[in-house]
Amino acid sequence: MSADLTPYINLRPLDITPAQIYLDSIEVARTVFPDFDLRPGTIEDAMFQAFAFMSALNIGSINRLPDSLMLGLGKMLGTKYVDGKRATMDVALTANSNSGGIIPAGTIFTYNATTDDGETIVSHAFETVEALEITANAINDPLPFATVNASARNIGVLPAIPANTDLAITSFSQVLFSAKSAGNFVQGENAETLDEFLSRSVINLSSMSSAVTTALQLRNYILAEYPSLVKRCKVYDLTDKDGGFELSDAPVAGKVVAFVYGPERNLTNAELTEIKDDVAERSVAGLEIGVSNSTLLNFRIVATLNYYSSYDTDAVKTMMIRNLTQEFSPTNSQSQEEKLRYNDVLRAIYANPAIHSIDSLTISNTYSGMAITNAVKSGNNVVYTSNNHQYSVGDMAAVTAVTPETLNTSTPTAVIARTTNTFTLVNAAASGTYASGGTSAGLSPGWGSVSGSDINYFYKGSLLNLQSEKVVLTLNSFAV
């Protein structure tokens, strides 16, 4: 069953244009004054046109049903409303003496985050969900500590808080010396807007059937049934869940795969299994359905831009990087085509009001010629120093021309960690002490062939996942 609630949310068929109201008003006037002649340019004509326009606005407003009415209707039809979730994390609390103490539930701590402009501080408050006892220890031992789970006081998405981050103690306490995040950060979720709920109500109606029989029904059912868990979903017919998911794979009859992406993360195996088991019960007999995470595609943007001189250079750069990473994030990137289009990046850059023109723009998934200035073996890994390199975690990188050559890794290896000036590769066979030289080259995996200025995807269900380190901008001031 397919449905479109738009005519009921907005009763557009009953709208009347100002022109129609204007002509009808003249006809009404002539029923009283048969010789009535409204001449253009007169005061009377201006008043008739003004009244017609205002009447059309009023009619348009009347023909829009209250959102609250459609909210109730959507809930009656079984659409779940997403109230949002609070972020949670573990907090390690250290007592101010070896005597320990009791920390009551509701004790408040704040995480102070700096915004993109580098100047504004935003505080995010967390409170403990249960009382905590810090056990006393010997007088010469380090100060005792214990760990407790804390929940954000506000609903919604927060900046991810790394483990061992200092937290400010907001609640007065004679017991506490310090507080740090202790990992297990679980991201919150923003409450659903009314427009998002109404859109999902339409999706929910479109998915209603005694059995799932089409790819569109399966997609709509997953999005409607798991609003807190699945934010993006794309379904492919004739696809084997045990295959390679390559776009070039031959069709496989009777098999379907749904690719999903959660709230700013991939789903766990348990979550994927839950969805798979659910949709399998609703599918028609003989149809084999798989559920898998989407492949995330990173890529590089190198551009030379001219911006209006009335803007600050650093502010333009920060805003440009933020806008591009949001536009080409898994949550927002287009999923209709199986390719990254050059023109989509071009439009995203020009959408910034500070940009006057673009001198050059390149998009790619390969990187080369990055100089190595140091290499340090650490366990089974090697940490390479390469100032302002463009690798992200998950990229495949190779290092050559290092002296001694035992620190090289000619076979591309996944980047497992990065900072602005270092990247780490697994290289258990590496040995020796860095002397000189070295360059690295690599690529972001998951891409297919280059098609002109565009890059094709390799796997089905892929989503773009541009990282900030991949945006390389040269900015030139432009005086009007």
User: CB pairs under 8 A, 24+ apart, for 240-248?
Assistant: 240/290, 241/288, 241/289, 241/290, 241/291, 241/292, 242/290, 244/459, 245/292, 245/295, 245/459, 245/460, 245/461, 246/458, 246/459, 246/460, 247/338, 247/448, 247/456, 247/457, 247/458, 247/459, 247/460
pLDDT at residue 476 greater than cutoff 90: yes
**Model confidence band, residue 324 (pLDDT cutoffs 50, 70, 90):** very high
Q: How far apart are CA 413 and CA 391, in angstroms?
A: 12
SS3 304: strand
**Model confidence band, residue 1 (pLDDT cutoffs 50, 70, 90):** very low
Choice among 116-130, 255-269, 276-290 with the minimum mean pLDDT:
116-130
pLDDT at residue 312 greater than cutoff 50: yes
Strand residue runs (E) in 365-408: 366-371, 374-378, 381-385, 396-400
Q: Would you call 235 exposed, middle or buried from its count of C-beta atoms within 10 A (0-12, 13-18, 19+)?
A: buried
Distance of CA 262 to the CA centre of its chain: 9
For residue 388, give the nearest of 300, 313, 298, 469 by alpha carbon: 469
Q: Residue 477 in contact with residue 316, Cβ under 8 Å?
A: no
In one-letter notation, the amino acid at residue 423 is: F
Q: What is the share, in percent, of the chain residues with pLDDT greater than 70?
A: 93
pLDDT at residue 381 greater than cutoff 80: yes
pLDDT at residue 209 greater than cutoff 70: no
Place of tokens 């699945």: 230
Place of tokens 């500070």: 354
**Sign, Cα dihedral of 394, 395, 400, 403:** negative
pLDDT at residue 479 greater than cutoff 50: yes
Round the average pLDDT of the chain to a whole number and report it: 89
The two tokens of residue 240 are 């084997």
Q: How far apart are CA 21 and CA 53, in angstroms?
A: 8
pLDDT of amino acid 117: 57
The CA-CA-CA angle for residues 427, 430, 435, to 5°, reads: 125
Q: How far apart are CA 145 and CA 100, in angstroms?
A: 8
Q: Measuring CA to CA, how many Å separate 365 from each of 297, 336, 419, 422?
A: 9, 20, 19, 19
pLDDT at residue 4 greater than cutoff 60: no
Q: Measuring CA to CA, how many Å separate 411 from each of 44, 369, 398?
A: 83, 16, 6
**Model confidence band, residue 175 (pLDDT cutoffs 50, 70, 90):** very high
In one-letter notation, the amino acid at residue 331 is: T
- Which helix (H) or strand (E) segment is 109 a member of? strand 108-114
Q: What is the share, in percent, of the chain residues with pLDDT greater than 90?
A: 64
pLDDT of amino acid 286: 78
What is Dmax (Cα atoms) for the chain? 108
Question: Which of the 8 DSSP states describes residue 138?
Answer: -
The two tokens of residue 249 are 């794979």
Choice among 45-49, 178-182, 430-434 with the minimum mean pLDDT:
45-49
Place of tokens 């390799």: 458
The two tokens of residue 320 are 């440009």
For residue 126, give the nearest of 58, 182, 199, 177 by alpha carbon: 182
